[in-house]
Amino acid sequence: MIVLKFGGTSVQNAEMMDATLSIVEKQLERAPVLVCSAMSKVTDQLQEIARLVGEGKESESEAILEAVREKHLACARSFISGMNLAKCEQDLDTVCAELRAIVRALVMLKEWSKRSNDAILSFGERLSTIILLHRARGRGMEAELFDSRELVKTDDNFTAAAPIEDLTNRLISSQVRTKPGMVAIMQGFIASTTGGAPTTLGRGGSDYTATIVGAALRADEVQIWTDVTGIMTSDPRIAKSARTIDRISYREAAELAYFGAKVIHPSTIQPAVNLGIPVWVKNTFRPGEAGTCIIPNVPGIGLKAIACKKGITLVSISSSRMLLAYGFLRRIFEIFEKYQTAVDLIATSEVSVSVTIDNASAVNAIARDLSEIGTVGVEADKSIVCLVGQDLWKDTTFLARTFSSLKGTPVRMITLGSSDINLSLVVPVESTDEVVRTLHDEFFPR
Ligand code: ADP
Ligand code: ASP
Ligand code: MG
């Protein structure tokens, strides 16, 4: 069997939903599971509703809800007919009524929490998959809809919940029926706690659902269908001349995703690793193009791609007491742990340590605690530009080329060597796109 995941732009309207179903139909004999995102922009609209209900703004939140409902109904009516349409409208109305009830209750309570946020965000994928189910049936396909909230079980870390692997595998493998000639449809991104509260896997999390399902069902392959042809040498929105990478290793793809290549969610690769499942990234708008195949290992060394992550904060701590002492690093990292803040990059010298953090919500408290150890500096508005490729350091011209092309850029921090596949540079946020373009021109000339 295979898993095919389609992102928001791939199901943004009736025409694209049909393009999606045509891609699935061609592979119907491979017993496909279709994992689907919300229609493009809908998760953002739901996010806005969640924010407004927290402020008790009933009419504004209901207006967006009504727009979301109308969008789905109009899409369904444009290409589904007869009994299939009647059932589709009924299902959409039932789900929208449930959302309205939640919104009204939360407005009264002026409640915003991560928990209520996830409850509201879960509706986008529920709505898009209802349309796909009835349209697939309308086209004569055998199709069945499964509820991911009953299959993907997570912890209660709402908005970025972590799957409970064994339980999820057991539920999916025992309940999701697949067979040649039929498409099983599931929602990406959404899940629930063991107690049944809706959770989400974090924004962009449908990719992760796809590989979770792929691993549970021991899929022959997972295909991630999006709006670009595969993983490219850089984000094509930044470097116009970016081109598709034919094959890339699990580690390289995971590193790129972690450091900002939005094309796949950072956790996507992890479920595929143990079983060595190939993960394809392909373009719904150009289905004839091969795309990228992500596999356990790819021979050869050298730079594969450049990613970037904006809005990073750099925290530095220096203390002469660090000289020849031990235990400092432990004390420093205990503080980050206390505030549940993940550290991305680290550089140390004899008397100082610099780290980058993505989530700066606790940075003031962290700085206060760190100041008991030494002098603390906090610099916001930084970016990480990350160059990824197997055994980069073995190419003895690589560093010289990188740094000579960055003449004039104030590179604030550099890390290389902690992994053999990643050179990361911390630069001012306003220089990010230019740095990416310059490096891209240097290593991937037009
Ligand atoms: P989907 O809705 O299908 O999940 P996303 O918007 O999440 O799609 O991801 C696709 C986008 O990722 C592309 O449109 C592109 O701008 C961006 N992107 C960032 N880095 C890369 C890269 N290295 N290769 C391809 N796309 C990238
Ligand atoms: N719909 C969710 C989002 O917009 C999940 C996804 O598209 O992967 O983040
Ligand atoms: Mg995505």
Task: Give residue-wise pLDDT tens across range 2-32.
Answer: 999 999 999 999 999 999 999 999 999 999 9
Distance 204 CA to ligand 2 centre (A): 4
Ligand 1 contact, 210 CB (< 6 A): no
Ligand 1 contact, 291 CB (< 6 A): no
- Over residues 349-375, mean pLDDT: 94
Give the pLDDT of residue 420: 84
Ligand 1 atom having least distance to the Cα of 224: 3
Ligand 2 atom having least distance to the Cα of 125: 1
Distance 391 CA to ligand 2 centre (A): 33
Ligand 2 pocket: which of 44, 189, 209 to mutate (most atoms within 8 A of CB): 189
Local confidence band at 152 (pLDDT 50, 70, 90 cut-offs): very high
* DSSP secondary structure letters along 296-354: S-----EEEEEEEEEEEEEEEEE-GGGTT-SSHHHHHHHHHHHTT--EEEEEE-SSEEE
Nearest CA among 331, 329, 355 for reference residue 344? 355
Ligand 1 contact, 226 CB (< 6 A): yes
Local confidence band at 350 (pLDDT 50, 70, 90 cut-offs): confident
The total of other beta-carbon atoms located within 10 Å of residue 122's CB is 24
pLDDT tens digits, residue range 282-307?
999 999 999 999 999 999 999 999 99
- Over residues 238-257, mean pLDDT: 97
Give the pLDDT of residue 324: 63
Give yes or no for residue 404 having a pLDDT over 90.
Answer: yes
Give the pLDDT of residue 193: 98
- Over residues 213-232, mean pLDDT: 98
pLDDT tens digits, residue range 30-80?
999 999 999 999 999 999 999 999 999 999 999 999 999 999 999 999 999
pLDDT tens digits, residue range 132-147?
999 999 999 999 999 9
Give the pLDDT of residue 328: 83
Whose alpha carbon is nearest atom 4 of ligand 2?
Answer: 43
- Over residues 411-427, mean pLDDT: 89
Task: Return mean pLDDT, the chain.
Answer: 96
- Of residues 417 and 308, more confidence is placed in 308
- Amino acid sitting at position 431: S
Ligand 1 atom having least distance to the Cα of 226: 3
Contacts of 181 (CB under 8 A, 6+ apart): 28, 29, 142
Q: Whole-prediction pTM value? A: 0.96
Distance 125 CA to ligand 3 centre (A): 13
Whose alpha carbon is nearest atom 4 of ligand 1?
Answer: 7
- Please list the alpha-helical segments (H only) found in 82-219: 82-109, 114-121, 123-138, 165-175, 206-216
C-alpha to C-alpha distances, 79 to 40, 74, 250, nearest whole angstrom = 18, 9, 39
* DSSP secondary structure letters along 100-124: HHHHHHHHHHT---HHHHHHHHTHH
- Of residues 206 and 420, more confidence is placed in 206
Local confidence band at 346 (pLDDT 50, 70, 90 cut-offs): very high
Domains (ranges, CATH) in the chain? 2-226 (3.40.1160.10), 303-443 (3.30.2130.10)
pLDDT tens digits, residue range 109-124?
998 999 999 999 999 9
Local confidence band at 323 (pLDDT 50, 70, 90 cut-offs): low
Give the pLDDT of residue 351: 84
Distance 257 CA to ligand 1 centre (A): 10
The Cα–Cα gap between 411 and 347 comes to 13
Which residues, in sequence order, are bridge partners of residue 32? 2
Give the pLDDT of residue 340: 93
Ligand 1 atom having least distance to the Cα of 8: 2
How big is the CA angle at 405 (ends 399 and 411), to the nearest 5 degrees?
75
Give the pLDDT of residue 320: 79
Give the pLDDT of residue 405: 94
The total of other beta-carbon atoms located within 10 Å of residue 389's CB is 24
